Amino acid sequence: MKAKLLYVEDDEVLGFITKDNLELNDFNVHHCIDGKSALYAIEEEDFDLCILDIMLPEIDGFQIAETIRKKDKATPIIFLSAKSMKEDRIKGLKIGADDYLTKPFSIEELILKIEVFLKRSNINRTDKQSLFNLGKYEFDYDNYVLTMEDYTKSMTQREADLLKYLLERKNVIVKRSEILKAIWGEDDYFLGRSLDVFISRLRKSLSKDPELKIENIHGVGFRLVV
């Protein structure tokens, strides 16, 4: 079955071109031109991945992402924006976005990012080991959930990918460049900033067990201490 994408873009020309290219690459694309119709689509349908422009009339991409995350913590979200400000990137990541592309972007790069996320989603469903003991937590990788007694923490796909990557290398220093290439697909400054945001989110998620730590090894990388 074709992967079903939600694509929200109010620029008619860009929206048409991007939708057409995505469909040529065998994706099923539901295109919305404003936030209101996007919110309606989210209520009515389930999507494998969401691509959101930030600058939209009345209801912006951030608000749409927040609504998606209230319904579903796992569906990958990619933000598109004409802005390249660090604050916007960080805000989007804190809301729960998984990636960010600055306009103008190449269709090839967008398609590559989509394929990476969808491939990981498929791997998650078929991975032999999906349940991990992590200190006082149980980590359900397939369903992107951390549990401890009556506490449940839902995660995004990228958070789950990052935690699993660190957990498989627990108590060992993992270089920043290695993490970025494995989880983001490349190593650059802006992705490094994204990594820092995701590490902060994981630390918060794991904070109920004081024995668990994600140490920052300055200038090198991180170590999950279990």
From first to last of its 226 residues, what are the pLDDT tens digits of the chain? 689 999 999 998 999 999 999 999 999 999 999 999 999 999 888 899 999 999 888 899 999 999 998 888 788 999 998 766 677 777 888 888 888 888 888 999 999 999 988 887 764 544 455 789 999 999 998 888 999 988 899 888 889 999 999 998 999 999 999 998 888 877 777 778 888 989 999 999 999 999 999 999 988 999 999 8
If you search the block for the tokens 């506490």, which residue do you land on?
A: 151
Where in the sequence is the domain holding 51, given as residue range(s)? 4-124
Angstrom distance (rounded) from CA 96 to CA 78: 10
Q: CATH number for the domain including 174?
A: 1.10.10.10
Same domain for 160 and 112? no
**Whole-number pLDDT of residue 122:** 65
pLDDT reported for residue 53: 92
Total tally of structural domains belonging to the chain: 2
Q: Are residues 197 and 115 in the same domain?
A: no
CATH number at residue 71: 3.40.50.2300
Judge if 173 and 108 occupy the same domain: no
Please identify, among 73, 91, 124, the residue that sits at the C-terminal boundary of a domain: 124
What is the DSSP pairing of strand 4-8 with strand 28-32?
A: parallel
The strands making up 151-154's β-sheet, listed across from edge to edge, are 131-134, 137-140, 145-148, 151-154
Please indicate, yes or no, whether residues 23 and 114 belong to a single structural domain of this protein.
yes
Same domain? 119 vs 11 = yes
Q: Choose the final residue of a domain: 65, 93, 124.
A: 124
| pTM assigned to the model | 0.65
